[in-house]
Amino acid sequence: WKIASYFSFVVIVALIVLNIIPRTNNKKDILDKSIAVLPFTYLSDELDKQYLADGTMDEILLNLSKVEDLRVMSKTSVEQYRNTDKTITEICGELDVAYLLEGSFLKNGNQVRLIVQLIQPGMEGHAWSKKYDRNWQDIFSVQSEIAQLVANELQAVITPEEKKRIDEIPTEDLNAYEYYLLGKNRLNYHEKDADLWRAIDYFQQAINIDPAFALAYSALANAYYRLTISALLSPGEAYPKVSEYSQKALELNEELAYTHCLLGIVKLSYEYDYSGAEKEYMRALEIDPKSDEAHTYYARLHFLFRRTDEAIVHIDRALELDPHFFWAKLLKSELHFSADSINEAIRLLEELRNSYPYIPATYWVSAVFYTHLGRYEEALSMLDTQLALMGDDNISDEIGLQGFIYGRLDQKDEALKQQARLDELSLKGYYVSPRTRVWIYLGLDNLDEAFAVLEKAYIDHSIDPVSFILYFYPIESLQSDPRFKDYLQKIGLNN
């Protein structure tokens, strides 16, 4: 009877495999539900209206990202293809997606025209192309409709909750919406420091028109965060505003994942409230499990507490969601360096310099690594390249690291000159953290002065704990001083 039962089982399984389970060569089952939304073009020579096309593209991309069953490339990954000469096949291959969405936009008075094409490489023509001639008042419903049409074409399942989120209207006032789009444009494509301040002005005008506009508060919080990382405001000036506007945004709409990330940044970098930061990052991922940014921020927190395995899991997930996410790749190199996987860290950085030769941060991290390895000439070379890319931007950390290297090379006069360079930057209106002078004093083995300025940095809230552990912890003279343990306890890292 055992043989008969076994034979019956095999027959049943065979029938299931052959007749009930769909064949693996069925196109519907092997369909890759991945897409990139390319930058939209504006259908006129009015360059000052491009922000409308960009805003429409952003909203459609955001709506697609709300569908769990889709893999959607981030805005940062697709921006490189603005005005590109590359073919559809080349772009899809580089982004590893099955579909592209292209679009063009025009607004004339209260009338808008939106043309979108869904494209699949290897097919003749488009998967589909649609033209919308609508009133400006209908822009939100059009954005929602396009996202759902695309998802349906890719045979993605949209849950009722996802549909509800896609259909949400950000504001009832289109004047507020236009100011919001203007602010986003300045924030995303700023070339001068003044652009960040102008973005803040636009977001504030949007809020003045519609005080219930949650996304405008969130964007305003993000703008103040950009001001502090650009050293245009001190942490004490910027972070309380980031916190205030983030909390206001979440009061109006609690389901804003990136806004939770912003609050997490404040709690980690300014308040040293690590459990609070973790709650915010976890909530962000609960709202949007596909947020590559939330995974990366959470990985930084895991790293801080030496939870390296968990950090790598989140970094790998971020890169699975977006293989071209630069900041996740950079953090991965830092994690490997901290875990003494030196060769892998250096290899990853070499890849980044080859792939993103125009991003200064790659050279900064390379310089720090080479410094800790005692390869000072290579570190100085990396800093030279970085400084050439940054131009007139705030370069206080880079100057500080140069001072450290000169000190270690017994070039004391050259090291002390960097103090004067920091003073000059401060006179130009940049915020120069006391942290930057720590490098110079450590290079000169002046530990008393190093701890004195570390104390000022603590008072200033300008010590980011993750960066502190990455960049300063490996310095032997600092680590072996009894005051260092006390300092770690001050910023909540006594364990």
- pLDDT tens per residue across span 270-311: 999 999 999 999 999 999 999 999 999 999 999 998 898 999
CA–CA gap between residue 314 and residue 306 (Å, rounded): 14
- Asked if residue 382 and residue 253 are part of one domain, the reply reads no
pTM above 0.85, yes or no: yes
Dihedral sign computed on CA atoms, order 134, 135, 136, 137: negative
CA–CA gap between residue 39 and residue 45 (Å, rounded): 16
Residue 245 lies inside a defined structural domain of this protein? yes
Q: What is the pLDDT of residue 495?
A: 64
**What tokens were used for 226?**
């950009």
CA–CA gap between residue 167 and residue 147 (Å, rounded): 10
Strands 99-108 and 41-42 come out as parallel
3-state secondary structure of 38: coil
Confidence at 174, pLDDT banded by 50, 70, 90: very high
Residue 307 lies inside a defined structural domain of this protein? no
Residue 415 lies inside a defined structural domain of this protein? yes
CA distances from 362 to 24, 76, 279, 378, 382 (A): 43, 16, 30, 14, 9
H helices of 16-49, in order, are 27-30
Domain boundary among 274, 289, 304: 289
Residues 6+ apart with CB under 8 A from 143: 56, 59, 60, 63
DSSP letter at 232? S
Q: What is the pLDDT of residue 257?
A: 96
The region of weakest confidence among 121-125, 189-193, 469-473 is 121-125
* Closest among 23, 38, 166, 29 to 97, alpha carbons compared: 38
Strands 99-108 and 71-72 come out as unpaired
Q: Which residue has the higher pLDDT, 127 or 181?
A: 181
- Asked if residue 488 and residue 432 are part of one domain, the reply reads yes
- Say if CB 450 and CB 251 are below 8 A apart: no
Q: What is the pLDDT of residue 128?
A: 86
Q: What is the pLDDT of residue 227?
A: 94
Residue 342 lies inside a defined structural domain of this protein? no
Residue 396 sits in a domain of what CATH number? 1.25.40
- Asked if residue 232 and residue 154 are part of one domain, the reply reads no
- The total of structural domains in the chain comes to 4
Residue 471 lies inside a defined structural domain of this protein? yes
- Say if CB 135 and CB 115 are below 8 A apart: no
Tokens 């200033």 locate to: 460
- Asked if residue 79 and residue 192 are part of one domain, the reply reads no
Instruction: Assess whether pLDDT exceeds 80 at residue 351.
Output: yes
- Asked if residue 1 and residue 120 are part of one domain, the reply reads no
Q: What is the pLDDT of residue 123?
A: 61
CA–CA gap between residue 85 and residue 195 (Å, rounded): 29
Tokens 């502090």 locate to: 228
Q: What is the pLDDT of residues 41-73, one digit of tens each?
A: 999 888 889 999 999 999 999 999 999 999 999
Instruction: Assess whether pLDDT exceeds 70 at residue 225.
Output: yes
Q: Which residue has the higher pLDDT, 152 or 474?
A: 152
Instruction: Assess whether pLDDT exceeds 60 at residue 358.
Output: yes
Residue 112 sits in a domain of what CATH number? 3.40.50.10070
CA–CA gap between residue 124 and residue 207 (Å, rounded): 46
CA–CA gap between residue 179 and residue 199 (Å, rounded): 9
Instruction: Assess whether pLDDT exceeds 90 at residue 190.
Output: no
DSSP letter at 164? H
Instruction: Assess whether pLDDT exceeds 80 at residue 24.
Output: no
CA–CA gap between residue 300 and residue 250 (Å, rounded): 23
Q: What is the pLDDT of residue 15?
A: 34
- Containing 68, the helix (H) or strand (E) segment is none
* Closest among 32, 399, 434 to 407, alpha carbons compared: 399
- Asked if residue 35 and residue 15 are part of one domain, the reply reads no
The region of weakest confidence among 8-17, 24-33, 93-102, 394-403 is 8-17
Question: Residue 254 sits in which domain range?
Answer: 170-289
The share of the chain scoring above pLDDT 90, in percent, equals 79
Residue 300: HSE in the Cβ half-sphere, 13 Å Cα cutoff: 25
- Asked if residue 495 and residue 362 are part of one domain, the reply reads yes
Instruction: Assess whether pLDDT exceeds 60 at residue 362.
Output: yes
- Asked if residue 188 and residue 225 are part of one domain, the reply reads yes
Instruction: Assess whether pLDDT exceeds 70 at residue 29.
Output: no
CA–CA gap between residue 386 and residue 88 (Å, rounded): 33
Residue 187 sits in a domain of what CATH number? 1.25.40.10
- Asked if residue 220 and residue 112 are part of one domain, the reply reads no
Instruction: Assess whether pLDDT exceeds 60 at residue 245.
Output: yes
Confidence at 193, pLDDT banded by 50, 70, 90: confident
- Asked if residue 444 and residue 393 are part of one domain, the reply reads yes
Q: Which residue has the higher pLDDT, 189 or 137?
A: 137
Residue 308 lies inside a defined structural domain of this protein? no
| 462-468, long-range: CB < 8 A, 24+ apart | 462/234, 462/235, 462/433, 462/434, 462/435, 463/435, 463/491, 464/268, 464/269, 465/268, 465/269, 465/272, 465/274, 465/304, 465/491, 465/492, 465/493, 466/268, 466/269, 466/300, 466/301, 466/303, 466/304, 468/435
Confidence at 12, pLDDT banded by 50, 70, 90: very low
Q: What is the pLDDT of residue 39?
A: 95
- Asked if residue 491 and residue 365 are part of one domain, the reply reads yes
Q: What is the pLDDT of residue 494?
A: 77
CA–CA gap between residue 283 and residue 242 (Å, rounded): 18
Domain boundary among 246, 274, 289: 289
Dihedral sign computed on CA atoms, order 10, 16, 17, 19: positive
Confidence at 474, pLDDT banded by 50, 70, 90: confident
Residue 488 lies inside a defined structural domain of this protein? yes
